[in-house]
């Protein structure tokens, strides 16, 4: 394997450090080598490029670990050259670590990602601990990145971009914090993530209550790697269906908030040559009769490994093919795992009883059918077992890759054996020459073992030769080089940076997928659109948020179509949003829907308590006095108030926001978070969602759902109310927002493209003259030049049933009625 020269420092972030730290009774810490393919491949690269390795020390202490010893001079492990200054130990309090690791990682993600949701436990406090630990890893990584960039700048390597490589399911959301900070501080780096376990399908992933945060955390990277293409496609499908991202399944690309994320299958390999060397030099450990054959199983004692199914299949083999009695022995090595977890203790008891029962049933004076080792074995012993076994049973119920299958193949240097492999391991889709069997089919598994034991030598040689050749070519160094090449981090001037490939720009054709099934040729269409950030770009001051002329022209043409009605809903005052849009035939909703003006002049105003206005004035004064500085300012919008901090320097932002929230709460207001702003809203049970429903009912009547199609584009304020009613688009450039929307759009340009698509589709309809439903129900005198000021407001809790009350403002006189009487004031 040709080793490419890495062109940038590599910062590896994993749950554990690449070696084991131990503290003796005197408190002295020692360093011990750790075996594993990941360490074997990655550690030498970190050493060579002067990179860093960040991980938990494995030791619980009250204070962060200040000293990490150097490696022993006689240490020959791959980590021997990794200096202590290249290692960053993450400190995690013991209680928090337990919630993070045992509670969330192993109690939730391990069974969920292995498609066993019935074993998963969803608890908010363990998820909180998981996020907290991920933030701590992120903060350690950011500090290491800053130090690395400082050294590069001192060497005048201003173009060199460090690669941060995050590993596995323990750190799924660490990149969220890293991405936010590197964009704020403009730190140069490339972010990558690799998942070493399976990624589940959408119907499994959606069970996790915070699945969007997981997906967004992974998408904060520039490249996300999985073992096999199936996991890549599962991930892309989840991003499309849960986050509403644009995806390119052919090129394995996902777009989120304008960033293109590359998804890549990188099947991990093993240190092939090292296992060959071990097989060649290790003596024989098994003492067998002359014709006795060994069937080998090597696994952690885990419910995903299919151990019980394997033992039952072997029992069925002896029942169905008694000629193997006294001729074949199953050697099952089960490495203890998570012995403090009840489910794992129960699995051990079940295995002990099952092995005991089968041995008691079939044993002879000089032969037992199963040799069961509950414990670890050395690398030398394992290589010998691989080499001397006639059959390897690798039959997990679900597994990311499974390196045991690859290690067995590497050690087949003498008379070749046969590999039996589950299709539910990642390796099952690559090692085609193995005998593939579904572990759930006990009878079929027994038949496959029988076939393997009787397979002719020439067939075994052909199969094993192909398997060995592939694994030798695609060893762990190939995996490492493939990753570096995917990140554009190797010295290869002939190729452009692979990460420079971007998703094609959003076009009208994209909306064929989004809206084709939603807009038909018969139903009317209601477009409900937010203003700021949706029709007009977000700016430093609201007065600068001008809607593009092209957008205005498209809206005007749409508003003149007989089957289209448009409503603009905004947090601005009603007068302001109407002025900013400047079109007459639209419905306008200001102050988040508290004020609504229809095209016919009908106006709705939701009642607001009288004392609210005075409290709002006091809040304005307090905010301007206490936090109206450093780019922060207060916008008073009638019944609403917005505290803007978009222009506040990032290093002061958290403190300004904290103080502002305290002022809101002391003044008796609940602070509502907006985009780089905090809003004070009236204490009424009315929001954009209810306003949208009111607009639709007023426009089309109560039975509109079968006759009208709704498209909403804007913020999250109305998503819940319109869920299942409208086709919804969340318009936001932030990659970390939670949304109930069907799809995402990055900003006003994407919304303009959507409006053009709608115009194109509506122009395909046969022309006909149809009056808008709202205008058709208005009295004739209301369509005259001097329209009436006609205001309707419903009480919050009684707007549908019960003692319904409402008020009208007609020609300046208020009239009030309820379900029992009508009176004039």
CATH number of the domain within which 429 lies: 3.40.50.2000
Which residues are within 8 A (CB) of 71 and not within 5 positions of it... i.e. 6 or more apart? Answer: 19, 31, 77, 79, 80, 81, 82
Q: Domain range for residue 428?
A: 272-472
SS3 per-residue string spanning 594-613: CEEECCCCEEEECCCCHHHH
**Tokens at 336, concatenated:** 């203890």
Alpha-carbon dihedral sign for residues 16, 20, 26, 28? negative
pLDDT in tens, 189-242: 999 999 999 999 999 999 999 999 999 999 999 999 999 999 999 999 999 999
Same domain, 394 and 437: yes
Q: Is residue 333 part of a domain?
A: yes
Structure tokens at 349: 């008891």
Two structure tokens written together for 371: 């040799």
Do 221 and 336 belong to one domain?
Answer: no
Q: Looking at residue 35, what is its pLDDT?
A: 63
Q: Are residues 415 and 526 in the same domain?
A: no
More confident of the two residues 352 and 630: 352
Question: Of 555, 592, 597, 608, nearest to 575 (Cα)?
Answer: 597
pLDDT band at 338 (very low <50, low <70, confident <90, very high): confident
The enclosing domain of 664 has a CATH number of 3.30.70.1020
- What's residue 559's pLDDT? 94
Domain final residue pick, 748, 763, 778:
763
DSSP state of 26: T
Is the separation of the CB atoms in 772 and 599 below 8 Å? yes
399 is catalytic: yes
pLDDT band at 707 (very low <50, low <70, confident <90, very high): confident
Question: pLDDT tens digits for 580-630?
Answer: 999 999 999 998 899 999 999 999 998 888 778 778 888 888 888 888 888
Q: How far apart are CA 44 and CA 1, in angstroms?
A: 15
Indicate the pLDDT class of residue 800, thresholds 50, 70 and 90: very low
Per-residue pLDDT band for 4 (boundaries 50, 70, 90) equals: low
Residues 6+ apart with CB under 8 A from 158: 152
Is 80 exceeded by the pLDDT of residue 62?
no
Q: Is residue 17 part of a domain?
A: yes
pLDDT band at 786 (very low <50, low <70, confident <90, very high): very low
The burial of 583, by beta-carbon neighbours within 10 Å (0-12 exposed, 13-18 middle, 19 or more buried), is given as: middle
123 in any annotated domain = no
Q: Which residues contact 287 (CB under 8 A, 6 or more apart)?
A: none
pLDDT at 820 over 50: no
Q: What is the rounded average pLDDT of the residues 757-778?
A: 68
How many CA atoms lie less than 13 Å away from 630 in the CB half-sphere?
15
State the pairing for strand pair 259-265/223-226.
parallel
Among candidate residues 168, 388, 399, 530, the one labeled active-site is: 399
The answer to whether residue 317 scores a pLDDT higher than 50 is: yes
198, 230, 265: which is the final residue of a domain?
265
What confidence tens digit (pLDDT) does each residue in 165-197 have?
999 999 999 999 999 999 989 999 999 999 999
pLDDT of 28 above 60: yes
Q: How do residues 642-690 score in pLDDT, each as one tens digit?
A: 888 888 888 888 889 999 888 888 888 888 888 788 888 888 888 899 9
DSSP 3-state helix, strand, coil percentages of the chain (rounded to 5)?
A: 40, 20, 40
Q: How confident is the model at residue 290 (pLDDT cuts 50, 70, 90)?
A: confident
What is the number of structural domains in the chain? 4
Q: Distance of alpha carbon 806 from its chain centroid, rounded?
A: 47
Is the overall model pTM greater than 0.75, yes or no?
yes
Residue 169 lies in a domain: yes
Contacts of 415 (CB under 8 A, 6+ apart): 457, 460
Give the C-alpha separation, 26 to 345, whole Å: 33
Q: Among 741, 763, 785, identify where a domain stops.
A: 763
Q: What average pLDDT is seen over the chain?
A: 87
Q: Give percent above pLDDT 90 in the chain.
A: 60
List the catalytic residue out of 196, 518, 672, 675.
Answer: 196
Average pLDDT of 261-272? 95
Same domain, 528 and 408: no
Structure-token match 């229809």, residue found: 598
The answer to the question of residue 802 being in a domain is no
pLDDT higher than 80, residue 787: no
Q: Do 189 and 315 share a domain, yes or no? A: no
* Residues forming beta bridges with residue 590, ordered by sequence position: 595
Shared domain check, 737 and 658: no
Q: How far is CA 316 from CA 303, 443, 555, in A?
A: 21, 7, 72
| Higher-pLDDT residue of 542, 422 | 422
CB atoms near residue 540 (< 10 Å): 13
304 and 183 in a common domain: no
Query: Does residue 784 lie within any of the structural domains?
Result: no
Q: How confident is the model at residue 37 (pLDDT cuts 50, 70, 90)?
A: low
Strands 52-56 and 10-16: parallel
Reported as a pLDDT band with limits 50, 70 and 90, residue 430 is: very high
Write down the pLDDT at residue 818. 41
CA distances from 712 to 96, 193, 534, 691 (A): 42, 34, 11, 13
Q: Which two tokens stand for residue 622?
A: 């307090």
For residues 333 and 301, what is the distance between their CA atoms, to the nearest angstrom?
9
pLDDT above 60: residue 772:
no
Question: Does residue 735 sit within a domain?
Answer: yes
Please give the pLDDT value at position 170: 97
Q: Which residues pair with 392 in a beta bridge?
A: 296, 419
Residues 145 and 74 in one domain: yes
Please say if 196 is a catalytic residue: yes
Q: How confident is the model at residue 49 (pLDDT cuts 50, 70, 90)?
A: confident
Quick check: is 192 in a domain? yes
Is the predicted pLDDT of residue 451 greater than 90, yes or no? yes
Say if residue 823's pLDDT is above 60: no
């Amino acid at each position: 394997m040709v080793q490419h020269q890495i062109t940038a420092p590599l910062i590896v972030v994993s749950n554990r450090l690449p070696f084991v730290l131990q503290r003796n009774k005197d408190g002295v810490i020692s360093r011990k080598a750790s075996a594993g393919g990941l360490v074997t491949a990655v550690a030498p690269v970190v050493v060579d490029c002067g990179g860093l390795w960040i991980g938990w020390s494995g030791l619980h202490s009250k204070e962060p670990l200040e000293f990490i010893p150097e490696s022993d001079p006689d240490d020959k492990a791959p980590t021997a050259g990794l200096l202590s200054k290249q290692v960053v130990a993450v400190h995690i309090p013991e209680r928090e670590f337990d919630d993070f690791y045992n509670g969330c990682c192993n109690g939730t993600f391990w069974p969920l990602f292995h498609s066993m949701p019935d074993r998963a436990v969803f608890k908010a406090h363990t998820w909180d601990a998981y996020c907290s630990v991920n933030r701590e890893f992120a903060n350690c990584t950011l500090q290491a990145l800053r130090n690395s960039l400082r050294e590069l700048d001192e060497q005048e390597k201003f173009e060199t971009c460090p690669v941060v490589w995050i590993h596995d399911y323990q750190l799924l959301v660490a990149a969220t914090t890293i991405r936010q900070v590197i964009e704020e501080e403009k730190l140069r780096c490339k972010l990558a993530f690799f998942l070493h376990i399976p990624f589940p399908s959408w119907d499994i992933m959606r069970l996790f209550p915070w699945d969007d945060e997981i997906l967004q955390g992974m998408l904060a990277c520039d490249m996300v790697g999985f073992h096999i293409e199936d996991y890549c496609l599962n991930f892309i499908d989840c991003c499309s269906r849960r986050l509403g991202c644009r995806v390119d399944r052919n090129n394995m690309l996902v777009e989120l908030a304008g960033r293109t994320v590359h998804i890549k299958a990188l099947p991990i390999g093993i240190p092939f040559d090292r296992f060959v060397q071990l097989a060649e030099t290790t003596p024989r450990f098994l003492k067998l009769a002359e014709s006795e054959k060994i069937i080998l199983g090597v696994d952690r004692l885990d419910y995903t490994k299919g151990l019980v199914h394997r033992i039952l299949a072997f029992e069925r083999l002896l029942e169905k093919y008694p000629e193997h009695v006294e001729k074949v022995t199953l050697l099952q090595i089960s490495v203890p795992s998570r012995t403090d977890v009840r489910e794992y203790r129960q699995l051990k008891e079940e295995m002990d009883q099952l092995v005991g029962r089968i041995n008691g049933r079939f044993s002879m004076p000089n032969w037992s059918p199963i040799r069961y080792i509950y414990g670890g074995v050395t690398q030398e012993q394992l290589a010998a077992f691989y080499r001397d076994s006639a059959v390897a049973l690798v039959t997990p119920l679900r597994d990311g890759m499974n390196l045991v299958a690859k290690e067995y193949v590497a050690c087949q240097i003498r008379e070749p054996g046969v590999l039996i492999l589950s299709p539910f391991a990642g390796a099952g889709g690559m090692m085609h020459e193995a005998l593939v069997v579904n572990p759930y089919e006990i009878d079929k598994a027994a038949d496959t073992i029988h076939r393997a034991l009787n397979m002719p030598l020439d067939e075994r040689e052909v199969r094993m030769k192909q398997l060995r050749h592939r694994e030798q070519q695609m060893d762990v160094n190939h995996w490492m080089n493939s990753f570096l090449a995917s990140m554009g981090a190797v010295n290869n001037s002939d190729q452009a940076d692979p990460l420079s490939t971007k998703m094609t720009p959003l076009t009208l054709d994209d909306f064929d997928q989004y809206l084709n099934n939603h807009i038909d040729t018969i139903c009317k269409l209601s477009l409900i659109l937010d203003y700021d950030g949706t029709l007009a770009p977000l700016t430093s001051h609201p007065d600068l948020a001008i809607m593009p002329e092209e957008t205005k022209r498209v809206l005007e043409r749409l508003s003149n179509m007989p089957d289209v009605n448009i409503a603009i809903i905004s947090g601005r005052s009603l007068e302001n949003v109407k002025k900013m849009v400047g079109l007459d035939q639209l419905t306008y909703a200001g102050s988040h829907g508290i004020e609504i003006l229809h095209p016919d002049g009908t106006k709705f105003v939701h009642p607001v308590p009288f004392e609210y206005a005075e409290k709002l004035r006091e809040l304005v004064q307090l905010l301007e006095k206490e936090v109206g500085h450093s780019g922060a300012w207060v916008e008073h919008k009638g019944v609403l108030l917005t505290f803007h901090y978009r222009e506040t320097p990032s290093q002061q932002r958290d403190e300004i926001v904290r103080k502002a929230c305290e002022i809101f709460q002391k003044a008796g207001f609940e602070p509502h978070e907006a985009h780089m702003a905090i809003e004070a809203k009236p204490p009424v049970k009315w929001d954009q969602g209810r306003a949208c429903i009111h607009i639709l009912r007023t426009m089309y009547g109560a039975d509109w759902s079968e006759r009208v199609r709704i498209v909403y584009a804007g913020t999250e304020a109305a998503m819940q109310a319109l869920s299942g009613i409208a086709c919804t688009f969340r318009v936001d450039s932030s990659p970390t927002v939670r949304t109930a929307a069907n799809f995402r759009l990055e900003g006003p340009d994407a919304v303009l493209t959507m409006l053009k698509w709608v115009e194109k589709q509506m122009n395909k309809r046969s022309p006909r003259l149809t009056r808008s439903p709202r205008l058709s129900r208005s009295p004739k005198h209301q369509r005259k030049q001097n329209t009436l000021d006609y205001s309707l407001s419903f009480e919050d809790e009684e707007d549908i049933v019960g003692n319904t009350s409402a008020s009208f403002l007609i020609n300046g006189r208020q009239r009030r009625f309820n379900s029992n009487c009508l009176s004039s004031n």
